[in-house]
Amino acid sequence: MNWAPQSSLQGRKGDEDICRRFRTDFAVIYACGLREYRINPSQAYFVLPATLCEFRGRIDEALMDELIAIQAAAAMDDGLVSPAHLVVDTFPCEQGSQRVTDATTLYKAQKKH
Amino acid sequence: MRSFGRSCRGQGKVFVKLVRQTEQQLLDQGEAISTLAQQAQASLEQTTTLSESQRARLSEHLTTAMRHHEQLRKQSKQLTQGKKLAHCKVVNAYDPTIAPIIKGKSNCPAQFGRKPGIISEPATGYLFANLTPKGNPSDESYVLPLIDKVEQAIVRVQQGPKRSIHSLAGDLGVNDPVLRQALHERHILSVGIPKTVAPINPHPSAQEVLDILNEAGLNRKRTPHQVQLACASGYSRPVVESHIATLLSRGAGAVRYKGHEGAVVQQGMTVMSYNGAVLVRIRQQKMTKRAQKFRRLLGLKSPKVSKIKQEKN
């Protein structure tokens, strides 16, 4: 599942979209372990977008680290991964959408040629 | 007029005198802001039409705005006096944690954003931890916090033998003698971190293995077999880049949530979904031959396919 949340105003729309996919997209249903659950057809959403937004807002750095640690510990418990040999690296990521400026356009145009 | 930037980027030209004059005018105009903010703060405390929570929220916003203004003013003054800026320069008035991306930008205009760090298993690419720092710190500063996070995950393991980190690999950016010493004190081999641009020998001789153990002072802590595995899993740019490329394709390339907290949440969620996909791939045994061999050497069990099929039937 591709987790690509949107900013501020788009955030709510993104939550509605993912909540809709909980009912319609088999890949999302499979990834979230909802195959066995019987969804009530009279309800518009399986998970309310407002609840998802609230849940996401309460996640902080400590909780996120804990979630990743729990996931890693479970994988090690099952003998699927080992922390014996590890590799460290960094990668750049942009903040927000890239602003279209004359410099960017000129740079991209030069690169195409 | 002064030129700046590398010649390969195409040098930009700027009218320094004009910039400095404009900067000074703006600083003069903004001189009164701190006085006005103090007056606003006093008015806010005296007002009776707002509730306590509203007042607290507005007061917090005002304090944050003033802090940012002070940072910007300090930075602008340094510019006008021709001084070199400090490491964490402000590039966005609304989010001081954003910094210019220097890494991998030798031939294009500098962009602003963040530089998350990851620590992964070289065979399958499973990410044990990630770190999204404020600003754009040096690469070696990522290593020990990431190792701490992995050790916290190891503490949570309940079954099987006691796990530990045997070796750590990284690029030339993390080649620091102090860091190597810190790793050796934690009984971690640093042979996977190159000292020069020359590639690491993946098959060291018995004498070389002994030398590596002596140099690290880990003779009785690490075995020659572990050193050989550490050399085999030394830093490899294509391997790490493939992990990063997969992570970027899952939405880690551009942070769309606001602020540092938003970046932490987004990167964390992306890492979790990426790890989920890696675990599915391991269970389905969709791995490269190199990964399969490495897992065999590490003694990691492979899921029994016949058992899974029986359960399915």
**What's the rounded Cα separation, in Å, for the pair B282 and B286?**
6
Instruction: Name every chain B residue with its beta carbon within 8 A of the beta carbon of A72.
Output: 126, 128-129, 150, 153, 156, 275
CA distance A7 to B251: 13
Q: Where does residue B5 fall: left (phi above 0), alpha (psi -120 to 50 degrees), or beta otherwise? A: left
Establish if B145 touches chain A: CB-CB under 8 angstroms.
Answer: no
Residues, chain A: 113
What is the spatial distance between Cα A43 and Cα A59, in angstroms, rounded to a whole number? 27
pLDDT at B311 over 80: no
pLDDT of residue A10: 46
Contacts of A82 in chain B (CB under 8 A): 121, 163, 298, 300
User: Quick check: B177 pLDDT over 50?
Assistant: yes
CB contact under 8 A, B266 and A85: no
Q: Could you say which residues from 85 to 104 on chain A have a Cβ atom under 8 Å away from some Cβ of chain B?
A: 85-98, 103-104
Task: Please state, in angstroms and rounded to a whole number, the distance separating the CA atoms of residues B208 and B233.
Answer: 16
Domain parsing of chain B, residue ranges:
2-80, 117-298
Among A6, A79, A90, select the one facing B103 at the smallest CB separation: A90
- Interface confidence: ipTM more than 0.85: no
Interface membership of A9 toward B (CB under 8 Å)? no
Q: Cα B77 to chain center, whole Å? A: 30
Kindly give, in sequence order, each residue whose CB lies less than 8 Å from that of residue A91, ignoring residues fewer than 6 positions away.
Answer: B103, B115, B116, B118, B244, B247, B248, B252
Model pTM? 0.74
Give the gap in angstroms from C-alpha A10 to the nearest C-alpha of chain B: 10
Percent of chain B residues past pLDDT 70, beyond the cut? 85
- The per-residue pLDDT for range B199-237, each reduced to its tens digit, is 888 888 899 899 989 888 888 889 998 898 888 888 888
Handedness of CA A4, A9, A10, A15 (dihedral sign): positive
Binning pLDDT at 50, 70 and 90, where does residue B92 land? confident
Q: Which two tokens stand for residue B286?
A: 């969709």
Backbone dihedral angles phi then psi of residue B139, each to the nearest 5 degrees:
-65, -35
Which has more confidence, B176 or A40? B176
What are the residue ranges spanned by the domains of chain A? 1-84
A74-77 long-range contacts, CB within 8 A, separation 24+: A75/B126, A75/B275, A75/B279, A76/B153, A76/B154, A76/B157, A76/B160, A76/B163, A77/B157, A77/B158, A77/B159, A77/B160
**CA–CA dist B80, B26 (Å, integer):** 11
Ranges of chain A whose pLDDT falls below 50: 1-10
In A, residues 27-56, which contact B (CB 8 Å cutoff)?
31, 56
Cβ partners under 8 Å of residue B206, min gap 6: B224
| Structural contact between residues B109 and B9, judged by C-beta atoms closer than 8 angstroms | yes
Residue pLDDT, tens place only, B257-291: 778 888 898 899 889 989 988 988 888 888 888 88
Query: Any idea what DSSP says for residue A40?
Result: -
In the Cβ-directed half-sphere of B90, how many Cα atoms lie within 13 Å?
A: 18
